[in-house]
Structure 1
Amino acid sequence: MTDEVPGDIPRPPGPRLLPGSQWYDAEAGPLVRPYAVTGGRTEPGPSGAQFDLIALVTFDDHAPDRSQECLLGPEHRALLTLCRSESQSVAELSADADLPVGVVRVLLGDLLEAGYVRVSRPVPPAQLPDEHILREVINGLRAL
Structure 2
Amino acid sequence: MPFPADGPWLDESAGRLIRPYTVSGGRTRPTTELDLLTLVMSTGDVPRTHLAPEHAQAVGLCQGPTSVAEIAAHLGLPATVTKVLLSDLVDCGAITARPPDSFDHPTDRFLLEAVLDGLRRKL
TM-score of the superposition, structure 2-length normalised?
0.67
Structure with greater Cα Rg:
1
Offset from partner CA, 1:46-69 (integer Å, 9 cap, x none): xxx2211111001114x236xx47
Structure 1 unmatched runs, 5+: 1-24, 126-144
Alignment-mate amino acid for residue 68 of structure 2:
V
Aligned to 2:82: 104
1:50 aligns with 2:36: no
How far apart, in 2, do the equivalents of 1:99 and 1:27 lie? 17
Superposed displacement of residue 27, structure 1: 2.8
| Aligned 1:88-99 pairs, distance under 5 A | 88-99=66-77
Query: Match for 1:82 among 38, 61, 66?
Result: 61
Structure with more contact order per residue of length (Cα contacts < 8 Å, sep ≥ 6): 2
By percentage of residues, which structure has more strand? Answer: 2
Alignment-mate amino acid for residue 113 of structure 1:
D
| Aligned 1:108-119 pairs, distance under 5 A | 108-119=86-97
Query: Match for 1:31 among 8, 17, 24?
Result: 17
Offset from partner CA, 1:71-128 (integer Å, 9 cap, x none): 21000000001112x2100000011111111110000110000000000114653xxx
Superposed displacement of residue 39, structure 1: 0.7
How far apart, in 2, do the equivalents of 1:94 and 1:30 lie? 14
Give the secondary-structure state (helix, strand or coil) at the position aligned to 1:27.
Answer: coil
How far apart, in 1, do the equivalents of 2:37 and 2:12 lie? 35
Structure 2 unmatched runs, 5+: 1-10, 106-123
